[in-house]
Chain A
Amino acid sequence: MQDLNLLANDNRGQHQLESGGNLAGWHEVTQGSILPSFEGDATNIAHMKAEERTYSNHNSYTATVASWRVKKPVFNIDVCIDCQNCWVWCPDSSILSRDKQMLGIDYDHCKGCEVCVEVCPTNPKSLLMFSEYTPLDEALSQWPEKKKKEEK
């Protein structure tokens, strides 16, 4: 089952998108609503892993932005062959993978589009959609068997 504290040392999905409460006034907002992506000097940051980068609070990386997801992909590590197809196709960079090992889903950014399930080539699939409210262990307990080849 996916460890929900994957890459727990980084600042991914730390805060809710702010609304109400103690927000900045007109005199404090940035000029042109231009938002810096990182704290400090970001030279060569492209070569660093995401969890090592100093994403700023203006970057959606540090925010939870998946509140409108109604179905979630669940990852079954026992079936996965680490082909990285889901990582390539995910439109929101929400497949967590390190050293070509599939680790799981970034539930703070995944919008539930189901593309990863569609492109998964294993039998049975290693990614399947479940209701947002289905616990991961319950979802994994319902995993289908390998489909037999059809009789000719």
Chain B
Amino acid sequence: MAEKYDLQEREVWDGNFAASQALRQAQIDVVAAYPITPSTPIVENYGSYVANGYVDGEFVMVESEHAAMSGCVGASAAGGRVATATSSQGFALMAEVLYQASGMRLPIVLNVVNRALASPLNVRGDHADMYLGRDSGWIQLDAFNAQEAYDMALCAFRIGENHAVRLPVMVHQDGFITSHTAQNVYPLSDEVAYNFVGDFKPVDDMLDFSKPVTYGAQTEEDWHFEHKARQHKALMDSRPIIDEVFADFEKVSGRKYNRVESYDMEDAEVAIVALGTTVETARVAAKELRAEEGIKAGVVAIRCFRPFPFDLVRDSLENVKAVAVLDRSSPGGAMGAFFNEVSAALYTTPNRPLVTNFIYGLGGRDFSISEAKRIFKEQKAHADAGYITTDIQQFSGLRGPHLGFFKTKRG
């Protein structure tokens, strides 16, 4: 049996420590990991829990992130509870195996501490790695602070391991801003946390010798399409189960989560849609603008990036006049991916709000409250004019001449 770990009702943890504690409490069978900044402390702390007897499971050190996720796939197919962590270049190296994990319906939990992708080399937080995973068939949950990094990690096991879901789950937090900032975190007791996650119940496990199975079958044009369609259906069908798990989590923690979080949106005229730590910055800006200038500003945040909450995004934004969608990833010759998805949802509403796109915060560039206010005011100008008065895509917080693309054809 694992040693008892003493916890206070309130701890001062950074996002990495919070995530590692959630992994400890889930009593994982196998963690296969290769450390990379800024996610290193998650697996480093976990390794110390194993070494000091706080965990009964195995910690497997491997030679790369490709091997780390491969080890997770093998252990999960064998029938164990499995998790790991990574960032950026390591995430990119894992990419091939991410698709293997989701295609085989293996409920692995991956903590992704978001960091920019080289080149040029950068260790700071942006969402390039998170976006790289968006078509990989994983559920992607986004934590905006250390408490949520802990809470989402516990929810991730419950969601992915549900037999109606059986999909791998990523829990994202922003590199350094969340992962290395110590905050008050209110953990559950080990008993409550483990009971919430529950015992692991394997499906088609390779260690069941009474029922040998083949994993990783080859399917050509006559079968592949049906398997991918079924996988997509499973991902879409996970939405109500994610809601159920969040409701159950509220019962044990008092903390309520939603696949789409709305702040000050009841009467909002303009909104910022964002991911990660930017959400809290935008919330402060919205509150201040309401008090200072009477601008009805609100914030919509995506807790569950995949499956993308197309309907909830639409419900939360259809009554505003102007929306700024903030993409913290270099768009590579297109509008931001997040902008495209939010725009597509809003295109199917009667009012079709004015939607603009900001590329911001790349490589950990700070996103300030004053910049969030400036963006809100620009949305207010669009709303008053009745059309988009600026370029549709702009760069925020960038040095040099104005950089923007495309004008509206409406108005």
Contact = CB atoms under 8 A, between A and B. Distances in A.
A70 interface: no
A32 B214 contact: no
B106 A32 contact: yes
Given A26-B226, A29-B230, A42 B211 contact: yes
Contacts of A26: 225-227, 229-230, 233
A26 B142 CA distance: 30
A56 to B, nearest CB: 10
B219 interface: yes
Nearest to B166: A31
B105 A34 contact: yes
A79 B233 CA distance: 59
B217 interface: yes
B406 interface: no
Contacts of A141: none
A19 B224 CA distance: 12
A23 B223 contact: yes
Contacts of B210: 41-43
Contacts of A24: 226
A143 interface: no
A45 B208 CA distance: 13
Interface residues of B, number: 27
B204 interface: yes
A20 B213 CA distance: 25
Which of B216, B226, B234 has the largest number of chain A CB atoms within 10 A? B226
B209 A43 contact: yes
Interface of B: 103-106, 166, 203-204, 209-217, 219, 222-223, 225-227, 229-231, 233-234
Interface of A: 18-20, 23-27, 29, 31-38, 41-43, 45, 58-59
25 contacts: A18-B222, A20-B222, A26-B227, A26-B233, A29-B227, A29-B230, A31-B105, A31-B204, A32-B103, A32-B204, A32-B231, A33-B217, A33-B219, A34-B104, A34-B105, A34-B215, A35-B213, A37-B212, A37-B213, A38-B212, A41-B211, A42-B210, A43-B210, A58-B214, A59-B214
Given A18-B222, A26-B226, 17 more contacts: A23-B226, A26-B229, A26-B230, A26-B233, A29-B223, A29-B227, A29-B230, A32-B104, A32-B231, A33-B103, A33-B104, A33-B217, A34-B215, A35-B214, A42-B209, A42-B210, A43-B210
